[in-house]
Amino acid sequence: SEYQSLLKNEETAPKYTAAEELYTEGKEEDDNGKLRKALRLLEQIEPEYRGKPQGERLVYILGDTYYQLGDYYNAPFNFERFVQLYPNSQKVEEAEYKTAVSYYNRSPRFNLDQTDTRKAIEELQVYLNKYPEGEFVDSANDYATELRVKLEKKAYEIAKQYHKTRYYKAAIASFNNFIADYPGSPFREAAYYYRYDSAYQLAINSFEVLMQERLENAREFYNSYNKYYPEGEFTQDSEASKMEIDKRLENF
């Protein structure tokens, strides 16, 4: 076919034209087939155009084709190369944004390794710092928030698991860290409550000699929950156990 002979063609110029066309059409029509065809051509001719005037557009297209195809490993690699090679290009902002978004897309579900999530937040922050008035500021902010919440959820769930498996001391230590590390998290109220509940469970299941101190400790955690969330989701539960604490403390 025409495309096959184009692939075998030694000349680069027709390939360039065809690739650009395929890329534009593919992007408009959301046709991955066309984009994949474009990609093969682009990969072939990219080395030839290094240092030439078309090189700038070509590296950008290459990165964007990967990006459109959902290859979030090759896309940031090429966008980063683009930014390095052509720092004065108009497309730099977009390339940096798409680099960050690629990392955003690489970020796995919260209960797996979050190395890519951290990298994505970092890249999004770099974008936001560099282009405070930029074109993609709103979505970059949304993405960054989403990823931060993901990290918060991870930390919260790990702490919650200690509570669930009845390692209450570990739960308290983890919730303490959580509360210190993530102000303004949507899991904050639950963290306050489960920290209190861990302390409560630890106290009532302990030896007589340790109980008083632990009950008092639990009461302090109750107070801080109650202070921040006087009408919270867990208020009813916490009040019930608080009464139990008070009752037991009377005996000491």
Partner 1 sequence: QDLPLGDSKKYTIGEIKVTGTTTYNEKTVLTYTGLKSGQELYIPGEKLRNVINKLWSLDLFSDINFYITNVEGNVADLELEIKEVPVLNQTTFTGLKKKSDRDELIDENSLKPGTKVTENLITTTRNYIQNKYKKEGYFNTDVYIQTKPVEDTTGANKVNMLVNVNKGDRVKIKSIDFNGNEQLSDAKLKRNMKNTKQKNIIRFWKRSKFVRADYQEDKTALINKYKEEGFRDARIVSDTLIKNDKETISLKLDIEEGNRYYVGNIDYLGNAAYTDEQLGKALGVEKGDIYNGVLIDERIQSREPNKTSIANIYQNNGYLFSNIDLVETNVYNDTIDFEVRILEGKEAFFDEIRVTGNNKTKDHVIYREMRTKPGQKYSQQAVVSTIRELGALGFFDAEQLNPEFVDPDPREGTLSLEYQVVESGASQIELQGGYGGGGFIGTLGLSFNNFSIQGLFDKDAYDPIPMGDGQTLSLRAQASTFYQTYSLSFREPWLGGEEPVSLSTSFSYTRQFLFDYVEREADKTRSFDILGVSIGLGKRLREPDQYATISNVVGFQRYDLNNYNTGLFTFGDGHSNNLYYQLGIVRDNTAFNPIFPTQGSKFDFSAKFTPPYSLWNGVDYGNLENDPEYQLRDDNGNLIDNNGNRVTSENSVADQEKVDQKKYNWLEFYKIKLAGSWYETLANFGPSSDLVLRTHAEFGFLGAYNSERGIPPFERYYLGGDGLGAFSLDGRETIQLRGYPNQSVVPIDRGVNDRDDGAVIYNKFSLELRFPITLKPAASIYALSFLEAGATYDNFRDYNPFQLNRSAGVGLRVFMPTFGLLGIDFGYGFDEIVGGQPGPNGWETHFIIGQQF
Tell me: does residue 153 bind partner 1 (CB under 8 A). no
Cα separation of 126 and 157, whole Å? Answer: 28
Residue 184 falls in which region: left (phi positive, over 0), alpha (psi -120 to 50) or beta: left
List 174, 185, 201, 238, residue binding partner 1 (CB under 8 A)? 174
Which among 34, 58, 64, 61 has a CA at the least distance from the CA of 46? Answer: 58
Provide, rounded to whole angstroms, the least separation between the CB of residue 176 and partner 1. Answer: 8
Question: What is the chain's Cα-based Rg?
Answer: 28
Instruction: Print the binding letters for residues 109-148 with partner 1: x by CB under 8 A, - otherwise.
Output: x-xxx-x---------------------------------
Tell me: does residue 8 bind partner 1 (CB under 8 A). no
List 9, 54, 89, 161, residue binding partner 1 (CB under 8 A)? 161
Provide, rounded to whole angstroms, the least separation between the CB of residue 76 and partner 1. Answer: 18
Query: 37-63: string of b/e by CB count within 10 Å (b at 16+)?
Result: bbbebbeebbebbeeeeebbbbbbbbb
Our CB check for partner 1 shows the closer of 81 and 154 to be 154
Cα distance between the two ends of the chain: 91
# residues near partner 1 by CB under 8 A: 21
Q: Please name the residue that has the structure tokens 């009950």.
A: 215
Binding-site ranges for partner 1 (CB under 8 A): 108-109, 111-113, 115, 154, 157-158, 161-162, 164-167, 169-170, 172-174, 177
